[in-house]
């Protein structure tokens, strides 16, 4: 069954700890994206990757890091430098980084840092 898997669905961490959110896809899509959503707000772009071993900062990259070592995987690390890490994190893929193919989203990971 093709799709995007984000795990875990809920994640709890203590302040000062780094945490890595998983995003795996079997759609064979080239492009992958990470978005952050705060309550009642829209989606804000953190990082995106068009191809393996390449990624670019989005609008709010500070305090986050990513890697794209495999086409299927685009993990996001929320570091202790991120001032307000509690949020809903969404991973998305796209067949290519440009053009008319639509975004496909995972079901998200809700991160709570106390």
Judged by the rule CB under 8 A, the positions of this chain that interact with other proteins are 31, 33, 35, 41-45, 48, 50, 56, 58-59, 88, 90, 92, 94, 97-100, 102-108, 110
Residue 30 vs 72, nearer CB to other proteins: 30
Q: Which is nearer to other proteins, 38 or 69 (CB)?
A: 38
Least Å distance, CB 28 to other proteins, is 17
Question: Per 3-state DSSP, what percentage of the chain is helix, strand, and coil (rounded to 5)?
Answer: 0, 50, 50
Measured from the CB of residue 57, what is the shortest distance to other proteins in angstroms?
10
CB of 42 to other proteins, least distance (A): 4
Cα separation, 98 vs 101, in Å, equals 8
CB neighbours (10 Å) of residue 75?
17
> Least distance in Å: CB of 80 to other proteins?
26
Question: Residue 13 or residue 110: which is nearer to other proteins going by CB?
Answer: 110
Facing residues of 65 across strands?
77
Nearer to other proteins, 78 or 90 (CB): 90
E strand spans, 1-114: 4-7, 10-13, 19-25, 31-37, 43-49, 56-57, 64-66, 76-78, 87-94, 103-105, 109-113
């Amino acid at each position: 069954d093709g799709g995007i898997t984000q795990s875990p669905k809920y994640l709890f961490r203590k302040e000062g700890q780094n945490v890595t959110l998983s995003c795996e896809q079997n759609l064979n899509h080239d492009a992958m994206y990470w978005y952050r959503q705060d309550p009642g707000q829209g989606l804000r772009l953190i990082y995106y990757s068009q191809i393996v071993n390449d990624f670019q900062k989005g609008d709010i990259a500070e305090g986050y890091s990513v890697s794209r070592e495999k086409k299927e995987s685009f993990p996001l690390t929320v570091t202790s430098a991120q001032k307000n890490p509690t949020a809903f994190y969404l991973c998305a893929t796209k067949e290519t980084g440009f053009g008319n193919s639509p975004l496909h989203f995972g079901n998200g990971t809700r991160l709570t840092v106390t």
